[in-house]
Copies of this chain bind each other. A is one copy, B any other.
Amino acid sequence: MRGDSKLETKRTTIVLFSGDYDKAMAAYIIANGAAAYDHEVTIFHTFWGINALRKQGFVPVKKGYLEKMFGWMMPRGAEKLGLSKMQMAGMGPKMIKHVMKKHNALTLTQLIEMAQEQEIKMVSCTMTMDLLGLQQDELLDGIEYAGVAAYLADAQDGNVNLFI
């Protein structure tokens, strides 16, 4: 693998399982870095990771009772996610965003936009969407929809495969 590293396109795949702001940032920073390095990059959003792809406002779609409850309880879009550490009743995310602004760091929303510009393949897990009652209208445009088989098809040829 390493001998012919200059001849082939490298591939990075990330399973984004977590719905935490900081973990999603890490995922998108690595993904954007890999794309800048000319890797083919896939981010497979599953379970809580799909929340990073939700549109920010309320999207009127027909749903059952339990699906509505999940929809209400889960964060609506990237900037609503909490932190994996130091959440501190919501103060943590504010502090982090404050220092990010001060240092001109990209927000998660901007990192996601950059990923789309770099043509990173952003996939949402259909099984999770079924379970949690999320519909395609509720997610950002330009997302692909697939299951674990599609993930594995990319990952088995991946050079860097991460679960975040």
Contact B155 A160 (CB under 8 A): yes
A151 to B34, CA, bound (A): 10
- How many protomers of this protein does the assembly include? 3
- Taking each of A23, A85, A132, which has the highest tally of chain B beta carbons within 10 Å of its own beta carbon? A85
The answer to whether the Cβ of A61 comes within 8 Å of any Cβ in the partner chain is no
A152/B34 contact (C-beta < 8 A), A8-B2, A157-B159 known: yes
Q: Which A residues are closer than 8 A to B by beta carbons?
A: 1-5, 8, 10-12, 15, 17-19, 22-23, 26, 29-30, 33-34, 36-37, 39, 46-48, 66-67, 69-70, 73-74, 84-86, 95-96, 98-100, 102-103, 105, 127, 130-133, 148-149, 151-152, 155-164
- Interchain CB contact under 8 A, A156 and B39: yes
Chain B residues near A102 (CB-CB < 8 A): 66
A149 contacts which chain B residues (CB < 8 A)? 33, 36-37
Minimum distance in angstroms from A99 CB to a CB of chain B = 5
Given contacts A2-B157, A86-B73, A164-B163, whether A47 and B22 have CB atoms under 8 Å apart is yes
Flag if B47 contacts A26 (CB, 8 Å).
yes
Closest beta carbon of chain B to A98's beta carbon, Å: 7
Q: Give the residues in chain B near A2, CB-CB below 8 Å.
A: 8, 11, 157
- With contacts A73-B86, A133-B99 taken as known, whether A33 is within 8 angstroms of B160 at the C-beta atoms is no
